[in-house]
Structure 1
Amino acid sequence: MKVVRFHAPGDVRFEDMPEPEAGPGEVKIRVRNCSTCGTDVKISKFGHHHIHPPRVMGHEIAGEIVALGEGVEGWVEGDRVQVIAAIPCGTCDECKRGRMTICPNQESMGYHYEGGFAQFMVVPAKVLAVNGLNRIPEGVSFAEASVAEPLACVLNGQELARVGEGDDVVVVGSGPIGCLHVRLAKARGANRVFLVDLNRKRLDMAADLVKPDLAIAGEEVDVVQAVLDATDGRGADVIITAAASGAAQEQALQMVARQGRVSFFGGLPKDKPTVTVDSNLVHYRELTIVGANGSSPAHNAEALRLIATGAVPVADLITHRLPLDSAIDAFGIVARGEAIKVTIEP
């Protein structure tokens, strides 16, 4: 079968490998869609310490079951399924406390296990053990289902930041994650949602789709002042930094309202992971700063429900659909910011 496989930083190949077979407790699927994200671009360029090459990439996966391993129950060939990306162990103290997103034993599709940029793949028994194989609801396409994984991460972030009724929310970063944050915040009852990006062209592309209440181009105006002006000097209730930017994290503390919440959603580069925080600002304004790390199996199931009900539409965010042999080209499209969401259809 054909796959897209990582061999070394800067060395990703479209090549053949033997078609896998499902072992005990496993499920084999025909991959129908595997969407791309910025993480795929980073892996292709720099690798990852959890990836021991060669490794099939891709972790935003949807497909249909073609074979069941010994002992698998509750599934039949032909079932349409979505696969979680982050796999908690389900047995550690954190998992037992319901904190699966911070499982210290977490593994991932496309890292520890062969991913979805392939014609066929095997879903590990560990995924099924934590209810990480989700049935795709009627009316939801494979392409839409593949976007459930990033939406699940967004859902986790907004739950931690307590986005809710009446909030003014600022989303920094107009990539696919930022677009999903805008739509989910509205679905959760936010009063107004502002979308911020340095690049006017990329901002306009995203804003045309997700219709924020205000689009702020950082290359043209002072972002902090623009948010303060739009909120009569109060600031926004929630700031979500959906970009790998330390400057954005520092700015967030300058434009958040008293008792507001700041989500450090986007991780920073490993060689520059620190920011400067005015601790007195956090202290006297009673601010909350929260992180966000991936998603749980339950978040994935809820993301599929949000897509199926229309609460968070995702089909129009998929701006590019490419065949498997164009997956490497897709990384460039993502890196250059020419798309919102690119999905690969093996």
Structure 2
Amino acid sequence: MRAVVVEQYGVLPVVQEVPRPEPADGSVVLKVEATGLCRSDWHGWMGHDSDIVLPHVPGHELAGTIAAVGSGVHGWQVGERVTTPFICACGACEQCREGNQQVCPNQLQPGFNYWGSFAEYVAVPYAEVNLVRLPDDLDFATAAGLGCRFATSFRAIHQVGKVVAGENVVVFGCGGVGLSAVMIAAALGARVIAVDTNPDALKLAREYGASDTLQASSTTVQEIRDLGGAHVTMDALGSNDIVQQALLSLRPRGRHLQVGLLPSGVQLDVGRLIGQELQWLGSHGMPAHAYPEMLTLVATGNLKPADLITRTITLEQTPAALAALTNGTPAGVTVIKP
């Protein structure tokens, strides 16, 4: 099969012919119909993830058709249209038994723990726990984005942050995760304030439901305070500077959602967290069993993840697009069709 192969961190990968994966016990192999290009893939390419072993194939947001079914997998057939969370949980540990597959200690992530979906085929371990059937009218490109950015934002905003109508929600960073969060928070009735350095991203944020947009600057915190302050803030990019601005923007007893990765760490004013009774909430993906609520809202038109897709590229165009993330995250979502 053809796949994008990383042979050295930070060095432009190339498309190569590599062996197609075989289905292990409990797993399936998917023909990749669409896969998203995410900033997490860039972090992996840069060497920020210790689980990656070179040579490596990135890619963790995916949708496709089942091409082969391993032994011990029941209820799934070749040809079915599916997606999967980027966190493939074991289904047997304490966290999984409690329904918290997104923090499974035995989890495997395509594109990180093993070869991912920047390829024509990809394996999905623990298939019975992690596969999600797709509605017939949901296209593969839209479904691919659900596995990481959209589902991550849905759980962060709705299930972890518990955003309700009338709250001020400030989203820092309007890439795929941030724009998804804007759309979801607006659909819940929140007043959304979007912050980014990219005017094109802010334009999209307004289209997806932001009431206010702010060009990131040294006055961002004061501008947010002038708008009433934030009940909820979300760092959708991953930056120590953003974290500081987010925490300073919160009203007393506000909630901060950390979704963006922080490979260089972060400094926290614990005194402010205590004195203002602020909450720091981490959110990491969403388990397969939680997808039905999100898919229902997509089916009814309350959420429109298809609108987030701004670019579709080929496998051959992927290495350059991955490298371009070094200069910043483009507006909207980029989908790869192998």
- TM-score normalised to structure 2 length: 0.91
Residue correspondences, number? 334
Report whether the alignment pairs 1:173 with 2:165.
Answer: no
Match of 1:275 in 2: 267
CA contact (8 A) 2:155 2:283 kept: yes
Change (3 A) 1:169 1:322: same
2-structure distance, mates of 1:121, 1:83: 11
User: How many Å apart are 1:84 and its aligned residue?
Assistant: 1.9
CA contact (8 A) 2:34 2:64 kept: yes
Q: 2:244 aligns with which of 222, 243, 250?
A: 250
Q: 2:304 aligns with which of 300, 313, 323?
A: 313
User: How many Å apart are 1:328 and its aligned residue?
Assistant: 0.6
2-structure distance, mates of 1:21, 1:107: 16
Alpha-carbon deviations, 1:89-135, whole Å to 9, x = none? 222232233332222222211122321111122322x2x242x1111
CA contact (8 A) 1:4 1:15 kept: yes
CA contact (8 A) 2:206 2:212 kept: no
User: How many Å apart are 1:139 and its aligned residue?
Assistant: 1.4
1-structure distance, mates of 2:292, 2:61: 14
SS in 2 for 1:312: coil
2-structure distance, mates of 1:320, 1:177: 15
Alpha-carbon deviations, 1:45-93, whole Å to 9, x = none? 2252111222221110101122323343322232111022112222223
Match of 2:137 in 1: 139
Match of 1:227 in 2: 224
Match of 2:195 in 1: 196
> What code does the residue aligned with 2:255 have?
R
Report whether the alignment pairs 1:91 with 2:121.
Answer: no
2-structure distance, mates of 1:327, 1:108: 20
SS in 2 for 1:306: helix
Q: What are the residue-to-residue correspondences of 1:98-113 with 2, within 5 Å?
A: 98-113=99-114
> What code does the residue aligned with 2:92 have?
T
Alpha-carbon deviations, 1:131-160, whole Å to 9, x = none? x11111121100000011121111222222
CA contact (8 A) 2:273 2:279 kept: yes
> What code does the residue aligned with 1:276 have?
L
Stretches of structure 2 lacking an aligned partner (at least 5 in a row): none
Report whether the alignment pairs 1:6 with 2:3.
Answer: no
CA contact (8 A) 1:6 1:44 kept: yes
1-structure distance, mates of 2:184, 2:34: 22
CA contact (8 A) 2:195 2:202 kept: no
Match of 1:157 in 2: 156
CA RMSD for the aligned pairs? 2.0
CA contact (8 A) 1:2 1:17 kept: yes
CA contact (8 A) 2:174 2:331 kept: no
Which runs of at least 4 in structure 1 moved beyond 6 Å after TM superposition?
none
Determine what percentage of the aligned residue pairs are the same residue.
Answer: 32
Q: What are the residue-to-residue correspondences of 1:58-77 with 2, within 5 Å?
A: 58-77=59-78
